[in-house]
Structure 1
Amino acid sequence: MDNLNAFLYDNFSVTIPSVHVIDVIEILIIAFFIYEILLWLKNSRAYMLLRGILVIVVFFVIAGLLQMNTILWLGERLLSVGITALIVVFQPELRSALEQLGRRNLFQVLVKGFQKNAEERFSDHTLSDLVKACFDMGSVRTGALIVIEMETGLQEYERTGISIDAILSRQLLINIFEKNTPLHDGAVLVKGDRVVSATCYLPLSDNMEISKDLGTRHRAALGISEVSDALTIVVSEETGQVSVTKGGRLYHDITADELTKFLEDIQNKNIKNDRKKEGGSADEQKA
């Protein structure tokens, strides 16, 4: 090791630092907190706010490179105020993140972080019951709003509703959205094969191009699709038509086969990605 250090120093003016057990523990602790911060950003609206802050930072970096002294002077004066403003803006997310950190087991978090998730997003039975329930409700003009969580966490919307945490079934969905029942108003949040929450409040879309014929359910479905990657199913109470929103787009008045295709596209996403990494999809292997 001494010879290697001497060679590196003589030729590159660098040396290999000595690493002790404390250094390894310190690295693991820092890595854990960085992981928690990134996970918090992913599961909250803080990510979008952070992107806005990064744009401002890049702007001031460019101003520094171009020697725009007036802008730099303003930036220095606003820095202390900006830090206070960030704490105020992020206050709900920061409080939620600290509460979650206090409730979680460190060992379980670390183990879960290294586990590879290659399972289906939900089962074929769940897919079938979703399709049947939506079109059964459509046939009797029962309105429904079902949000299927994907990669983006929807905990902040889940907390606005009533916890259900039950295995998804056709009968359960129909009973939830039955008119004049306590849980029929608002959205149902689905995660995997379970209904996690009902009567959830969703953000309404500000898109002025939405048809005036569409009601609050469709606007809420578009709203959640604009701030997350969730797929949302809407059953119109007025017409009985079934629609889907994803990625800020509305697919209006779809058939049962089309809804099945939408759900199949997100159902096997993780498996398809893993197969591609292993050497191609099943169709490619058959070919």
Structure 2
Amino acid sequence: MRSKFWLFSLSLLGVLLYGISQVRSAEKQKAVRIGMMRTIFKDTPDSLLQILMKPFSSVMESQTGLSGDLVMSPSYDKLGKQLCDGEIQVGVFHGFEFAWAKLKYPDLEPLMLAVNNKAILKSYVVVADNSGIKSVDDLKGKSVSFARGNREHCRLFLEHRILPANTSSGKFFGKINLNADAEDAFDGLASGEVEVVLSDSAPWESFKLQKPGTAGKLRVVMISEEFIPAVIGYNPKKLDQNIRDSFKNGMLSASGNPKSKRMLEFVKISSFETIPEDFNEQMSEMLKSYPAP
């Protein structure tokens, strides 16, 4: 699961570079800097990350003739400031992090979304079917496993919708496995080895398909709302319009390019999509449930 998460994140960077390949030669005198949240690579050591990211610079040079940089940002605040200061031209945020950044840096605008229609961004609290756990109030003191590969929205859901205010996981739950293999976690739930599993949507849906009999012994006691997908953001005051339009058009057409489509399918990215008309309303609702820290 962790290796797939790296592949998703690194391939997202690769497709971003493909988008840059659509920029015309008249624009090639400018280097394009892409910033990405460090939390997207949360399970990747810095030493390995440096090795994994090096090929992308050469890919950019060989395929586009453009010079460019890939920049990791430690926080949404830093990434937002970099965009507003013109240090980078394009930033990749978790959806909720973009909402937080826009509160502080209102000049930021969404350019497009990175969407996976087969793995929606939801969190699941799963228990044994014969468990006495009926609601979040019954979770205190229980043993819990966090499925390996859970994305950042799962952490956010845990902190805001499950844990009481100013209470850590260690104080709320009786026993915690922070890095459980998803299949082992659900098997352990069915056998009584653990009482609760907090899972991303993809591991839970996969387990139901692979082991329907065991999954039938489990039930979902709580489901989060659907989170906003990853947002490709920019600052209109700092990004040339021609570069922006070429970049956007290249990204949106990536799933129609056979080579890019295969890469997208491999890492389970359905497509890059335009910003929906109700995006601002979605962000407002997200901020009500998950206010900026």
**TM-score under structure 2 normalisation?**
0.21
Greater RCO between the two (CA within 8 Å, min separation 6)? 2
**TM-score under structure 1 normalisation?**
0.22
